[in-house]
Amino acid sequence: MTAISGTGGDYESIKTISAVDARQVRLKYSADVPNTDMLSPGPPVRRVDLTRAILAADLQSAHMYQQVFLEDSADLIPETTSLGASAATLRTLKAGGEAEFGYSNAYTGVKLDANRSKSPNYYSYMQFGKLRRVGDGTAHVSVLVNDAPVDLPAVRAQGEFAGDKAEFFFLDDPSNPLTLAFRIGIDAIKPLVPEAVKMCENIRRMGKSGAAFLGGLHCDRPNGGDADALRVVKIAFHCAPPLGAPAGPPGSSVGQPPTVAASGDVGRLEQALAARKPVDVYSIYFGFNSDSIRDESEPTLKEIAELMRRHPEWKLGVSGHTDSIGDDAYNLGLSSRRAAAVKAALGSRYGIALARLATNGFGRSQPRDTNDTLEGRARNRRVELVRTD
């Protein structure tokens, strides 16, 4: 799961690896994207669902990074990667060399072709430059790996692309140089002058989106900032752990409740609840600013239901928690609705008696981490389970 920061709150995209073979890797992409264009009619949030294939050969040697997922995206875009750098790029950076690199500057609303002989195509929207490693040591990026915070080893690289400065953090794993974070167009958005701030206020009064971009006017970032940024906040796996992940079941921080992974590790959840300890669950995903449960949550809902079937005497409290974006009253209501949605899903989809489930919402009042960063806010948005019998 990657997070992007916006005026109305963080929104998240989920990329799920669905199949791997000798020729390619297949993934599913899902995101609830806020409508930030004041000239574009339609609902405030649009759902983007698509699939993509990445060739195994490109994962080894490609120098183009197709990090943009368009609604009409081609299933296969040869000579590109999608989730990170290629093994060749990582090797070059680690050896202290300059890596040829290109990333996409395509944008929503443009339908592109994966055939170079047709126009417009994906390759004509690539910005090229050279990446250089920053420092000689290993950088670290904190990510929730199966719901436990882990400092993943990373290679930090910077470069300039058509006048735009960019920075990338790639997982230091030759078999999977996943992009853990990037900043593209660093400080490219300048702070708004007072006249522009007034214009944005008028736009809001007219009922238009406060996150508008028009003719260079970024109402969503009055203090300026980067043109584009990505931060991986959660990784869940059902197979061998990635480099840097705990060898056994990941533990929790001192003084924090244990967590439950999305990898079939019901044992830890069962042990915690048997000891009447509260458990933070991060692998139940909701739509943007919504209580709708996303499809990727099903494995975790199923695990909870199986646990309750094994212990028919147990009753659970389900609590919702949010980050600090938005006012207290709204967050309190949203957290309550999300807890109620989990209860309803366990009842309607898995036949768990509703009398065994009680819900509550705490909004932003019980944070687990800082609300000043994308990853901190992601850790504060969670569902908590506790025994109530």
What confidence tens digit (pLDDT) does each residue in 158-189 have?
A: 999 999 999 999 999 999 999 999 999 887 77
Q: Classify residue 354: in a domain, yes or no.
A: yes
If asked whether residues 231 and 277 sit together in one domain, one would say no
Provide the CATH number for the domain around residue 380.
3.30.1330.60
If asked whether residues 282 and 359 sit together in one domain, one would say yes
Q: Classify residue 208: in a domain, yes or no.
A: no
Q: Classify residue 159: in a domain, yes or no.
A: yes
- Distance separating alpha carbons of residues 299 and 146, to the nearest angstrom: 13
If asked whether residues 230 and 304 sit together in one domain, one would say no
Q: Classify residue 205: in a domain, yes or no.
A: no
If asked whether residues 287 and 230 sit together in one domain, one would say no
- Distance separating alpha carbons of residues 345 and 314, to the nearest angstrom: 18
Residue 220 has pLDDT above 90, yes or no: no
What confidence tens digit (pLDDT) does each residue in 310-367 have?
A: 999 999 999 999 999 888 999 999 999 999 999 999 999 999 999 999 999 999 999 9
Please tell me the pTM assigned to this model. Answer: 0.82
Mean pLDDT of the chain: 85
If asked whether residues 293 and 169 sit together in one domain, one would say no
Q: Classify residue 9: in a domain, yes or no.
A: yes
Q: Classify residue 240: in a domain, yes or no.
A: no
If asked whether residues 285 and 355 sit together in one domain, one would say yes
Total number of domains constituting the chain: 2
- Cβ-in-10-Å burial (0-12, 13-18, 19+) of 205 comes to exposed
Q: Which of 170, 202, 235 is the last residue of a domain?
A: 235
If asked whether residues 230 and 266 sit together in one domain, one would say no
- Distance separating alpha carbons of residues 213 and 283, to the nearest angstrom: 33
Lookup: tokens for 241: 């752990």
If asked whether residues 152 and 33 sit together in one domain, one would say yes
Domain ranges, residue 342:
259-387
Maximum C-alpha span of the chain: 66
If asked whether residues 278 and 140 sit together in one domain, one would say no
Angle, CA of 320, 321 and 327, to the nearest 5°: 120
If asked whether residues 171 and 53 sit together in one domain, one would say yes
Q: Classify residue 203: in a domain, yes or no.
A: no
Q: Which of 33, 31, 124 is closest to 77 using CA atoms?
A: 124
Specify the pLDDT at position 119. 92
Residue 104 has pLDDT above 90, yes or no: yes
If asked whether residues 280 and 364 sit together in one domain, one would say yes
What confidence tens digit (pLDDT) does each residue in 129-144 have?
A: 999 999 988 999 999 8
- Distance separating alpha carbons of residues 60 and 92, to the nearest angstrom: 12
Q: Classify residue 198: in a domain, yes or no.
A: no
If asked whether residues 231 and 291 sit together in one domain, one would say no
DSSP structure string for 208-254: --TT-EETTEETT-TT-B-SEEEEE-EE--SSSPPTTS-SSS----T
